[in-house]
Structure 1
Amino acid sequence: MSIVPYSGHEKPGTIIISNSSRTLLRIQSSTRAEKYRVSIGRDGFEWTGTVYVGRKVEWPDWRPPEAMRKRDSSLPNYVPPGPYNPLGARAIYLYSNGHDTLYRIHGTNSSETVGNYETSGCFRLTNRDVIDLFKKVKNRDKVIVY
């Protein structure tokens, strides 16, 4: 994470994710933001829109969505929390209109993958960075993806 200048109009606490630069900004003030490197959706899995933080979980479990399991039959139905869970140490669940989008901002057990185009639409940070971000994010914080 690094502190960078910010000159936009979003209020502090807002998260802005850029698909093109593979970065996540968390707005601190009208002049500063925290910048994190993220992995984003691979070709065909990028998305844009405005959502919000609906839930936060430390050491989440993972149930791959049915569509994901259809694409990769080797995926298990369930992965318990822990070091082998691909969601890593923390997960920030993204919601829209009261419903879980199934997209997450989460950690990873493979930090070398962070910064690439390779997820199924989630935003992947190192465990260290997601633990830092998790402490600062609140439920209902706005998340803008472009």
Structure 2
Amino acid sequence: MADWDLRQASTADVEDVAELRAVVLRADLERLGRYDDVRVRQRLRDGFDPVHTWVIEIGGAFAGCVALRPADDAHWLEHFYLAPHLQGSGIGSAVLRRLLERDDLAGARIRLNVLQGSPARRLYERHGFTVESEDPIDIFMARRISRASWENGVPVGGAR
């Protein structure tokens, strides 16, 4: 696994993130009959909040992003995209582990949605997320974070 780091996103990152989103989601959205070249980027631009977004860097270069947005009843894990050539390298698991181990999340519920048929679902399941509901397009998943739910950096009930 390559050395990686997280840095706080800035408004200047929006176009890199929007482009990566279009690349990463294209195959799944096409399979679901939902891909629109303009809309996939604009939806990201419309909801981009650098305050709750981090950029994943490898060697100082943009490699991905992830957002963790607080809401009334949970934190939403959103916009978790990693450059295709880095997927499967362990970086996504390491980033997710770092986010879920944050002290300020103890006791919090983390929610996310993943597209039907996306291989990312397996990543989330390995980290203790379970399905709450689904529709023809999305699978909604959640898990509660607690200090007691982690042993040696691995979620209890999950595997690396």
Q: Taking structure 2 as the reference length, what is the TM-score of the superposition?
A: 0.30
Structure 1 or 2, whichever has the larger Rg, is: 2
Task: Name the structure where helix makes up a greater proportion of residues.
Answer: 2
Higher relative contact order (CA 8 A, sep 6+): 1
Q: Taking structure 1 as the reference length, what is the TM-score of the superposition?
A: 0.33
